Amino acid sequence: MRRLLPGALLTAAVVTGVAFTSVPAVAGPAVSPAVLAQPVVVATGLNNPRQLSVSDADLLVAEAGSGGAECGADGCLGTTGSVALIKQAYWARSAAPTRVVTGLLSAAAPDGGFAVGSDGVAAGTLGRVFVAMTYAPPDLIPEPLPGEQAGKLLVGYLNRVRVVADVSSVEIGQDPDEQGVDSNPYAVLSLPGRQLVADAAGNTIIEVRNGQPRVFAVLPNHDGHQSVPTSLAVGRDGTIYVGELNGENPGTARVLKLSPTGELIGHVDGFTTITGVAVGQDGTLHVSELFGGGEDGPPGQVSTVRPDGSRSSRAVPFPAGLALDAGGHLYVSAWSIADADGTELGASNGSEVSPPGQVWRLS
């Protein structure tokens, strides 16, 4: 099975499945935000920001955390994962995060970068916050860390966190794609009466109703690679959009279109390592490409596909989640592989430290 992440948090690295010791090199000096299309930095000081979700005028950010003190050969474990709330996101400028869900399992490099853990977030009704957690075998998570969170869909509400469903149990019990058991819940979409979770390593979308998980869609291999779904969005007509990592080859990743009941009804192709997707009211599609672009600086871009098929891209370093607010303003997690202090990028010409995890507004 093509892993998005190794099955265990202890050996996990980042959304690409690259080991801590083999982070893609970023040659040359750091590129300033001014060179990168002058975005508005909405929030900074985030710990490995991943999926975004709009809640009224506010923005929720899944933070995979910065690991912790329980270190092994492949990384450090802790409970630094969280969900941040950016109040009145359109007006925010370099805001410090307000964390509304905390104490979530996290694994990261010793410097806090390239974390995995609480990677997906979705705003629910009545103030609930859904969180998708990376899977790891419980016996690899020492007490007193909350190993029961791994592979689960969680909900945060009134300062409490509880398990909604064991998402990874579907892959472990059924192996729906028949390519070997490997699970990594990575993104969540909240819909009326149900939640959808992208199991990236399982190549499946899991539907959760009343706490019961089931297979919603099994995603096909193509271009010599497994699908590896990383991101979810819904259109005005109920179409479900699924962004996939696929391989790391340029141009092979697709945004899949599923019917409201899970049938594959189409796709948009030509992307590279998708880590976020958002759909506008007019059908305009926005796509984060983790390793897209990068000719003049760090890898990463956000591409826009308009209803007439025309495309454009903007450079964003290591982009992850995308979200559109009611006014059509687009937000993206930038430097999604970095914690609040930045992280070493492994540049070929010497050590280079990234800026902290951030959220940018692009429009």
Q: Strand 160-166's sheet: what is its strand order?
A: 118-123, 129-133, 152-157, 160-166
Residues 6+ apart with CB under 8 A from 102: 79, 82
The answer to which of 38-42, 274-278, 321-325 has the lowest mean pLDDT is 38-42
The pLDDT score that the predictor gives to residue 347 is 57
Q: How far apart are CA 189 and CA 257, in angstroms?
A: 14
pLDDT (average), residues 271-286: 97
For the cut 90, the answer to whether the pLDDT of residue 72 exceeds it is no
**Tally of helices (H runs) and strands (E runs) in the chain:** 1, 25
pLDDT (average), residues 189-213: 98
Partners of 276 in beta bridges: 288
Higher pLDDT, residue 298 or 351: 298
The pLDDT score that the predictor gives to residue 139 is 85
What is the three-class DSSP state of 303? Answer: strand
Q: Which two tokens stand for residue 340?
A: 């609040």
| Cβ-contact 343, 13 below 8 angstroms | no
The number of angstroms, rounded, from the C-alpha of 289 to the middle of its chain's C-alpha atoms is: 11
Residue positions counted in the chain? 363
Q: How far apart are CA 108 and CA 65, in angstroms?
A: 8
pLDDT (average), residues 72-93: 94
How much is the pTM? 0.91
The answer to which of 53-67, 181-195, 292-306 has the lowest mean pLDDT is 292-306
pLDDT band at 159 (very low <50, low <70, confident <90, very high): confident
- Domain 40-344+356-361 falls in which CATH fold? Neuraminidase (2.120.10)
Q: Which two tokens stand for residue 17?
A: 């499945």
Q: How far apart are CA 265 and CA 354, in angstroms?
A: 40
The number of angstroms, rounded, from the C-alpha of 322 to the middle of its chain's C-alpha atoms is: 9
| Cβ-contact 358, 312 below 8 angstroms | no
